[in-house]
């Protein structure tokens, strides 16, 4: 690979949600601050939405790591496409709670309630994060709402954070689950990286990966990368990684716009836009050429 060629300890643009590479862009930092304030205030439901690839899972992991273990107990459910009873078992397992697997939903709910009360008596707040929440079945969403009914006179026994794609908003807009929708007290919509943030994002990840040399991505290449990725972090990572491979293949020390264009053309989520941009540019050139020829005639 290209690590030694560019003076890197490890690949800088992996697509797994590695918190050591997390870049505190404006959107993510505002979302994290919102979640931490809401958790400390004891709110029942919170929601974070964002397009595919905007870093929802990474934000979720940053949030869980930022919670004070002396005050919070957390559960992380990466795939909530579960039946209600299965979700309760998953929550219990994450919280280290023993539950009789032969019981019905009523007894499951009661046992979870007892466990949550024990955490409350110990001064602990329980926070459950549901990733990919747009895939959660409606009956499971309702079961989750019933769990958040558990409370003392002072506070909720369980706080829930829903992380999902924009389709989650459509699910919650359904009249049949309006009770849950009304309980969402804090929400945030993640946005893509702005043009000015792309260069900082690239520099940050390269620095974490061990780069200490000069500029790797020329300004024109950064602009091309923003155009091809639309600022979506996952696409930025994929295209940047392929761009480094192309530069390495040529034996050069910097990423040029042509490397980014080649990488984008090889990336399905970005290649259509890249081809569209090149078609538009070609059309302008053809029109310009036609005008010139007409003027010369």
The CATH number of whichever domain residue 184 belongs to comes to: 3.40.50.300
Residue 142 within any structural domain of the chain = yes
157 and 213 in a single domain? The answer is no
Domain containing 214: what range?
194-296
pLDDT of residue 104: 72
- Supply the pLDDT for residue 151: 72
Tell me, yes or no, whether 244 and 184 share the same domain: no
| Total structural domains within the chain | 2
Same domain, 42 and 180: yes
* pLDDT recorded at residue 277: 47
* Residue at which a domain ends, from 137, 163, 189: 189
- Kindly give the residue spans of alpha helices, DSSP state H, lying in the chain: 3-6, 26-40, 56-66, 84-95, 105-121, 138-147, 167-172, 178-182, 195-208, 219-229, 233-250, 257-265, 268-296
Q: Flag residues of the chain having pLDDT under 70.
A: 103, 152-154, 271-297
For residue 244, being part of any structural domain is answered with yes
The pLDDT assigned to 241 comes to 97
pLDDT at 103: 67
Give domain status of residue 17, yes or no.
no
pLDDT at 274: 53
- Residue 210 belongs to domain with CATH number: 1.10.8.60
In our burial notation (b when 16+ CB lie closer than 10 A, e otherwise), range 129-155 reads bbbbbbbbeeebbbbbbebbebeeeee
């Amino acid at each position: 690979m290209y690590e030694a060629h560019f003076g890197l300890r490890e690949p800088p643009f992996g697509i797994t949600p590695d918190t050591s590479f997390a870049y505190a862009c404006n959107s993510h930092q505002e979302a994290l601050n919102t979640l931490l304030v809401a958790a400390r205030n004891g709110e029942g439901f919170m929601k974070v939405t964002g397009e595919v690839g905007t870093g929802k899972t990474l934000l979720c992991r940053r949030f869980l790591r930022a919670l004070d273990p002396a005050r919070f107990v957390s559960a992380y459910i990466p795939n909530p496409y579960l039946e209600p009873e299965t979700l309760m078992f998953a929550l219990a397992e994450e919280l280290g709670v023993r539950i009789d697997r032969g019981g019905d939903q009523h007894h499951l709910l009661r046992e979870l309630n007892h466990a949550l009360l024990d955490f409350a008596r110990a001064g602990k707040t329980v926070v459950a994060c549901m990733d990919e929440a747009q895939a959660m079945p409606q009956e499971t969403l309702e079961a989750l709402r019933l769990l958040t009914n558990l409370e003392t006179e002072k506070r909720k026994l369980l706080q829930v954070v829903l992380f999902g794609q924009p389709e989650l908003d459509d699910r919650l807009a359904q009249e049949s689950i309006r009770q849950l929708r009304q309980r969402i007290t804090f929400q945030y919509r993640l946005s893509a990286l702005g043009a000015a943030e792309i260069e900082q994002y690239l520099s940050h990840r390269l620095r974490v990966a061990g780069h200490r040399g000069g500029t790797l991505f020329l300004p024109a290449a950064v602009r091309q990368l923003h155009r091809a990725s639309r600022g979506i972090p996952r696409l930025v990572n994929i295209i940047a990684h392929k761009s480094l491979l192309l530069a390495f293949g040529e034996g050069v020390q910097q990423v040029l716009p042509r490397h980014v264009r080649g990488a984008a053309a090889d990336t399905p989520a970005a290649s259509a836009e890249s081809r569209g941009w090149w078609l538009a540019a070609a059309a302008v050139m053809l029109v310009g050429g036609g005008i010139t020829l007409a003027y010369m005639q």
